[in-house]
A and B are shown apart, each in its own frame.
Chain A
Amino acid sequence: MSNGRHEIDDSIDLAPGDEHVEGGIGERILGYLTGLGLAILLTATSFFVAGTNLVWEPSIPVALVVLAIAQMGVHLVFFLHITTGPDNTNNVLALAFGVLIVFLVIGGSLWIMANLNHNMMPMDQFMQMQR
């Protein structure tokens, strides 16, 4: 029976959210607890960094974004069970495409709007031209 089980794991994909575990319930709960612990740690760090003046100020936004992306990774691995294993290839590829679009939309919007703001005539000059 265990041999057959092994073959299932190797030959068939896993649904997103399904977990590939050898251990029992205790091990699975431990997985969720690990995720919860890491998430709490990263969240607490985010709130601390945002409210402190111990950190060099211009670095704060970068630190917050990095912490957020790290926490998203923790959630994906420990709660959604997205892994790099061969049974997860389809899920990872779909995720990669989603991430690409998300970065294009957000990065592109910020880039274009910053460029427009930079090149726009100051409002008082514009008002004078209207007269």
Chain B
Amino acid sequence: MTDTAMAYSHGDPRLRSMAGAVAHSGPAPKRIVTGYGFWIFILSDMVMFSAFFAAYAVLLGQTAGGPSGRELFDLHNVAIETGFLLASSFACGLATIAADTRNANWFQLAMAVTCVLGLGFLAIEGNEFASLVMRGAGPTRSAFLSAFFTLVGCHGLHVSAGILWLLTMMAQVAAKGFRADIRRRILCFALFWHALDIIWIAVFTVVYLLGSAV
């Protein structure tokens, strides 16, 4: 039995007893119910983002005589942001493995790396927003810029919330250890963080790469 196998059966006596029982007897283990419920939330969050993406795509040309994406976007910065978020997603995956193997030190280290990379992402994004506003290209300038700030800002808010959640998980693991409920929260946090990276793929493709082609 491997460490990972232990991660699933340990702490959840129902799962262990089910090993010998007939398939599909009784309710699903809490880890599956919680994870699935959070999966539904993530998908609904993506539906909400799709509305912002649709608005951005429709309003891309409506610059009201103001600057267009080609003049405003610095793709060099976007590439660095993408790298930060991708690396933090990877670090988050390592934190998941550390949590499954009950290795508190590696968990805290991987989560700290995830946090630093996420903060780096937010710093670059905040810098970009500030410089746009300083150049008179704030959200009030045109419909295009309103859609831009709403979409990218909404993703940035999600990342900020994710970092607060990340710090909470570090504190909870430090205080309470890898209890079954804490590990369910880690599972949900990992889902959330990876999902943010998926949304960022759409952001850098649609907003920055396609947006600066117009």
Contacts and interface: CB of A to CB of B under 8 A. Distances in A.
Contact of B197 (A16, A75, A105, A108): A75
Contact of B36 (A1, A16, A43, A109): A16
Interface in B13-60: 15, 18-20, 23-24, 28-29, 31-32, 34-36, 38-40, 43-44, 46-47, 50-51, 53-55, 57-58
A22 B1 CA distance: 9
A67 B18 CA distance: 42
B190 to A, nearest CB: 6
Contact of A109 (B9, B20, B40, B58): B58
Nearest to B61: A117
A79 B36 contact: no
B40 to A, nearest CB: 6
Given A10-B23, A98-B43, A25 B86 contact: no
User: Which DSSP category, helix, strand, loop or mixed, fits chain A's interface?
Assistant: helix
A65 B188 CA distance: 28
A42 to B, nearest CB: 9
What's the interface size class on B, roughly? 35 or more
Nearest to A96: B43
Interface in A66-84: 67-68, 71-72, 75-76, 79-80
What's the interface size class on A, roughly? 35 or more
A102 to B, nearest CB: 4
A50 B51 contact: no
B47 A109 contact: no
A122 interface: no
A61 B213 contact: yes
Nearest to A43: B82
B89 A106 contact: no
B205 A67 contact: yes
A102 B46 contact: yes
8 contacts: A12-B32, A14-B32, A16-B36, A18-B187, A35-B93, A40-B86, A75-B201, A79-B194
Given A10-B23, A14-B32, A25-B3, 15 more contacts: A2-B1, A15-B32, A17-B96, A19-B4, A29-B97, A32-B97, A35-B93, A40-B86, A43-B82, A75-B198, A80-B191, A80-B195, A90-B36, A109-B55, A109-B58
Give 8 nearest A-B pairs by CB, closest first.
A15-B35, A98-B43, A11-B23, A109-B54, A4-B19, A68-B205, A16-B39, A102-B50
